[in-house]
Structure 1
Amino acid sequence: MPARRASRVVVRFCGGVLSLALLAACSSLGAPATPGRAVAGDGRLECRRPATARSQVTIEPIATDPEPQLPVVYPDITGKPVTVTDASRILALDTYGTLATTVYALGLGDRLVGRDVSTGIPELTHLPLVTHNGHQLNGEAILDLRPSVVLTDYSIGPLEVQLQLRDSGIPVVIMSDRRARDLIGPQIEAVATVLGVPQAGERLAARVRGETDAARARVAELVPADPAHRLRMVFLYLRGNAGVYYWFGEGSGADGLIQDLGGIDVASEAGLKGMRPLNAEGLVKASPDLYLMMTRGLESVGGVDGLMQLPGVADTPAGAHACVVDMSDHQVLSFGPQFPTTLEALAEAIYGEAARP
């Protein structure tokens, strides 16, 4: 794989409203001397080189061993009422790793018996995988774990496996697969309600809202006041080994993330809705300054050098400056309890030295 020029990224917002626990360490260590971005003399942001956004993915549970109040009858997204009588052996499975991360943050991590490939917080990586070939559910592996309840959504499949589990007598709760900042709180509260810990859900949702508001306020301080000077961004979803090349637009979740980062989402600006195959002509016309990606997606095409070989990618301002910011597949679009630290880390990678007052 071609060598990548990634800046050393540490989430440090010294003196700001974010990452207050790091304040003492920041004041003694000082800021890294490798800014990833620069501000041009006219106030316009100028992207210079690639960077990898990294952050602490450990989450502090909102409660210690809460006791679920069951049974719960919950009408899932299909409208079917599902009765949950036992939360001792939980499986929470989706493409983003959001559901299992939420269960852990509620204080029920010790009840999880397996995980999907996208669940990446360190405390859960010891659990057996129940997905294969990427995000495909393995019905046999799931049944072997004897779950007492399964939380899932339509972002993962195949649907036949979810129906098989339900037919076997396991309570299967189909949650919403939409991901956006404004949906984080309701999603946390929905998971908590299903598992019989609604009060823990309310506290966790409130905590995440406060942390997210603080993160957004800090990012807002870094963004040029003039919209014409803001970075034009696009989220690319690539799986080179499978020949999958998409760009994400309105309603994909990436649009809201780019907005929170103070960027202009060029895919939505071009009228793209959801996720669509990457189009070289459309990409060049959209003229992004920065490519936002999942780390494994970037690796799958051979890193930054390989990315530039894809049609149209090099023929944009982002391509001309190799302006690529990647982040862990487990985190960048999860929109769960770790969203505030995701936003912090991406701001650090995008704005570089400007993010360190």
Structure 2
Amino acid sequence: MAKKLYWLVFLLTLRIATFAQGVSKTERIVSLNGTLTEILCDLGLQNQLVGVDITSTYPAAMEKIPKVGHNRNIGAEAVLALRPTVIIGVRSNGSMDLKPEVLQQFKSAGVKTLIFEQETNVAGTKKLITEVAKAFGASAKAVALTRKLDADLARVRKPAKVQKVLFIYARGTGTMMVSGRNTPIEKIVQLAGAQNAFNDFESFKPLTPEALVSGNPDVILLFTSGLESLGGMDGLLKVQGVAQTNAGRNRRVIEMDGQLLTGFSPRLGLAVQELSRKLSQEVSLK
């Protein structure tokens, strides 16, 4: 009787431990967010990824992993076809990328689906790293990652002069938006020692010549892919209103990788370092 009771307690303890950990040691993971993908890779779980969304551009090895679409337009079929045992995504600043009906399809298929809260700030990044690591039984590695993040941020050298930075999200001249308050862009610009050009509206709004002139940024910031979609510097200067700004007159344009700039991933400190360094450079993009 005592022996049976011992095994009953042992199995119950094992079951509780497994539940607390969230997932087992070996899984077939589909990541629907580039930041989560980076975290998993930094935790040493890269080999368990069987599918990722197209924002998962780092590390370079992710190029070889099957893509399931953009995280804001995911279809359940493409994900489930990879036979995942775990699907992970985020709710960023209170907004869910994944459509509710798709999330329900995952649950109906019996696949464990983990949605993590992401806040685009330093504390939120460290919290996300910690929670993902806990879910996958790698909490010890999270400590090293968050310490490195703090060390990277401590190395940031902010420019001597505070500059107004205008971020333009571009997908060709037909789709151009500018960033306002309470955006990941505003937060990383501030971390780099600069000021967002617009603070009279929240989120994003369409770019207009009038807005460019009134904002009159010292620097224009774009994703590398966005600048390329406009035809580079020459194409950007042809956008109505750009040439009339301080940034346009001085050809002060900064381009950065999109996932690095806005992902708020373990590379956040490196992103702030790069932006601060480019803001401090006198030589503009030619």
TM-score (norm 1): 0.67
Name the residue aligned to 2:183. Answer: 252
Q: CA deviation at 1:70?
A: 5.8
- Displacement after TM superposition at 1:110 (Å): 1.2
| 1:203 positional shift | 2.7
The answer to whether 1:191 aligns with 2:132 is: yes
Structure 2 residue 282 is the aligned partner of structure 1 residue 350: no
Return the alpha-carbon distance in structure 2 between the equivalents of residues 131 and 70 of structure 1. Answer: 34
Larger Rg: 2
Displacement of 1:189 in angstroms is: 0.7
- 1:147 & 1:284 partners in 2: Cα distance? 50
- Aligned residue for 1:176, secondary structure, equals strand
The 1-side partners of 2:26 and 2:121 are apart by 27
1:71 pairs, out of 18, 21, 28, with 18
Deviations 1:202-244 (A, max 9, x none): 3322222222222x2xx13xx22xxxx4221121111127x32
1:176, distance to aligned residue in structure 2 (A) = 2.2
Alignment correspondent of 1:44: none
Q: CA deviation at 1:73?
A: 5.2
Is 1:239 paired with 2:171? yes
Corresponding residue number in structure 2 for 1:170: 111
The within-5 A match list for 1:54-65 is: none
Map 1:157-306; keep pairs closer than 5 Å: 157-214=98-155, 216=156, 219-220=157-158, 223-224=159-160, 229-240=161-172, 243-268=174-199, 271-306=200-235
Q: Which has the higher helix share?
A: 2
1:60-86 deviation line (CA, Å, top 9, x unaligned): xxxxxxxxx963459xxxxxxxx5456
User: Which shifted more, 103-112 or 205-214?
Assistant: 205-214
Q: CA RMSD in A?
A: 2.4
| Unaligned stretches of 5+ residues in structure 1 | 1-68, 75-82
Whether the 8 Å contact between 1:86 and 1:148 is mirrored in structure 2 is: no
Instruction: Judge conservation of contact 2:38–2:265 (CA < 8 Å) in 1.
Output: yes
Which range moved further: 178-187 or 341-350?
341-350
8 Å contact 1:291–1:324 — kept in the other structure?
yes
1:152 shift after superposition: 0.5
Unaligned 5+ segments in structure 2 are 1-15
| Equivalent AA in structure 2 for residue 128 of structure 1 | P
Give the deviation of 1:340 after TM superposition. Answer: 2.0
- Does structure 2 conserve the Cα–Cα contact (< 8 Å) formed by 1:71 and 1:84? yes
